[in-house]
A and B are shown apart, each in its own frame.
Chain A
């Protein structure tokens, strides 16, 4: 087990470097650069800037310089915000995304697993169709439609929560609910499917045959296997939530990482894009590893050599 974890942790490093390389290639492939969008610079100024950022070197030298810094964990300064290092920017904006992301994650897990389990137990009844139709609706309404509707309802009509911006616990409610809605819907559907599968399996029948009561069968035996599909979904989902989701941050005017990322891509702020992509890809791979490891604990049938 320990060897498996170590090996996977070691693979993450070259994979992340590969992701950075591909991203760098993608950015360079697109015509133009950070300076081409701004107003035309005098030739001398442009030459000076190109020299400062090493843009006058051949591409492989630029790539080498970039990689040499990235390997040391240094992404350099942002082009859009001169004097601010990429690491600083990420560190500053991550807490906002992380706070609403983690809260939304737990809200979605709680609501989704509760609704999914309940629906599976009461299969083909109103308590099954109702939550499942609601979950389908949650998947079908884009969150940029949910968010403003919630704002109008709770901020402008009922005056319960502030409509936007960061400040106090009450300002977190609407963004967290918006963010959690889609994930809760997914998790509810996955939990229902997983629980239905497990409730029909032999080991649950054995547990019942032993004379265990419903509650013990459900929580001690069925639940662990039933949430396996949810577990594999939540790894990447948590990474996406932590990184922030652009829409929610845009609608609620939160200074999170997702918003910064989109702006960086649109501004061609190469160091910032590379930094965020590297950070995200490592996050995704670490969470995938955690998911794979937790599989082994949840399902004794899965073994890693």
Chain B
């Protein structure tokens, strides 16, 4: 008789949030757009190369082709000053821009979460000092920090693990790529401050609850309590803030590229493409329009997705 009852499956926090997220049309549309974009960015450049032979840095051999053409069937987004296919460049730039967003956010996540959690859990004087340090770093313009990081660790001084990373990803002897990775880490290292504050606030409210006391009573050490018990419970706001960090890091990178400090040639990001496009805006508007619109749409989707995840994870908003 027992199996005639309807089975009641437990609903986890994340499963519940996922259900609510799926009801949010804007968030779903954003996810679809981002999914398509990621696929396009990953396979697009290869497809373009196989079908037409264009790549992001292929300058046509004929002299009369080396100039900016408006969009056509052959070049859906036109070409740039060097006659290079803009579609291939925008897709290639998307790889870099998305990589900036993901890797830098990951770095800021690791630094910010550990820092905030340790400060919040230890409390007292240590917390006070650690948070004042955050305040002080806040007051230093991040541009200065990025420039110094890039010049201290740039060129021959690049840390070995960054060189190792770029060699594993892109093959040996690629100086440009390791500088690119350096930029990702530099951006991550200036964007962890708010994350640290968010996490600390969470930990402060969690650390006096019974489950922490229970863990301590069973002999779990400080490290174990912070990383096994406290951080997993503070993950909601962290996820929300991380999704909103991705677009903000991408904007920062675009801003640095606009100042000529970000991604260097031969690599291009949406920011550096837009920078070139702005200079030629009055004559070749397509050079700004396509990278600009692609970037704006991506950031738009990321922001909406971040909002959607926040609404889905925050039970308060269920009332609406």
Residues of A within 8 A of B (CB): 15-16, 18-19, 22-23, 26-27, 29-32, 123-124, 136-137, 139-142, 144-145, 148-149, 152, 156, 200, 246-247, 250-251, 261-262, 265-266, 273, 277, 280-281, 284-285
Contact = CB atoms under 8 A, between A and B. Distances in A.
B144 A273 contact: yes
A261 B148 CA distance: 14
Give the residue among A23, A142, A251 with the most B Cβ atoms within 10 A.
A142
A26 B141 contact: no
Interface string B281-320: 1100000100010011101100110010000000000011
Contact of A152 (B148, B259, B281, B319): B281
A139 B147 contact: no
A118 B201 CA distance: 31
B255 A136 contact: no
B303 A136 contact: yes
A145 B140 contact: no
Give the residue among A30, A123, A139, A144 with the most B Cβ atoms within 10 A.
A144
Contacts of A265: 143-144, 147
Contact of A23 (B144, B288, B297, B303): B144
Contacts of B157: 31
A22 B288 contact: no
A281 B206 CA distance: 32
Given A137-B296, A262-B259, A266-B147, A142 B254 contact: yes
A147 to B, nearest CB: 8
Interface stretch (B45-53, B131-139, B213-221): B131-139
B278 interface: yes
Contacts of B292: 141-142, 145
Nearest to A273: B144
A124 B307 CA distance: 15
Instruction: Rank and list the top 10 A-B pairs by shortest CB-CB distance, nearest first.
Output: A281-B139, A140-B299, A140-B300, A30-B151, A26-B148, A141-B296, A145-B292, A19-B139, A30-B148, A144-B258
A28 to B, nearest CB: 10
Contacts of B139: 15-16, 19, 277, 280-281, 284-285
Contacts of B307: 136
Given A145-B274, A148-B288, A152-B282, A139 B136 contact: no
B271 interface: yes
Contacts of A266: 147
Interface in B140-184: 140-141, 143-145, 147-148, 151-152, 157
A142 B295 contact: yes
Contact of B148 (A29, A250, A251): A29
23 contacts: A15-B132, A15-B139, A22-B140, A26-B140, A26-B148, A32-B151, A136-B300, A136-B304, A137-B300, A139-B299, A141-B299, A142-B251, A142-B255, A144-B255, A144-B274, A144-B275, A152-B282, A246-B259, A247-B258, A251-B278, A265-B144, A277-B144, A280-B141
Contacts of B188: none
Contacts of A27: 144, 148
Contacts of B258: 142, 144, 247
Contacts of A281: 139-140
A49 B288 CA distance: 45
A57 to B, nearest CB: 22
B112 interface: no
B247 interface: yes
Interface string B224-259: 000000000000000000000001000100110011
Interface residues of B, number: 40
A15 B259 contact: no
B interface: dominant SS: helix
Contacts of B251: 142
Contact of A15 (B136, B255, B296): B136
Given A15-B135, A30-B151, A280-B139, 15 more contacts: A15-B139, A26-B145, A29-B152, A30-B147, A30-B152, A124-B320, A141-B296, A142-B251, A142-B254, A144-B254, A148-B278, A262-B143, A265-B144, A265-B147, A277-B144
Contacts of A30: 147-148, 151-152
B148 to A, nearest CB: 5
A261 B281 CA distance: 27
B282 to A, nearest CB: 7
A234 B132 CA distance: 21
A27 B140 CA distance: 12
A119 B162 CA distance: 47
A241 to B, nearest CB: 14
Contacts of A26: 140, 144-145, 148
Give the residue among A29, A140, A149 with the most B Cβ atoms within 10 A.
A140
Contacts of A284: 138-139
Contacts of A261: 141
Contacts of A139: 247, 299, 303
Contacts of B145: 26
Contact of B136 (A22, A32, A123): A22
A32 B307 CA distance: 44
Contacts of A15: 132, 135-136, 139
A23 B140 contact: yes
B281 to A, nearest CB: 5
Contact of B141 (A32, A148, A149, A277): A277
Contacts of B278: 144-145, 148, 251
Contacts of A247: 255, 258
A142 to B, nearest CB: 5
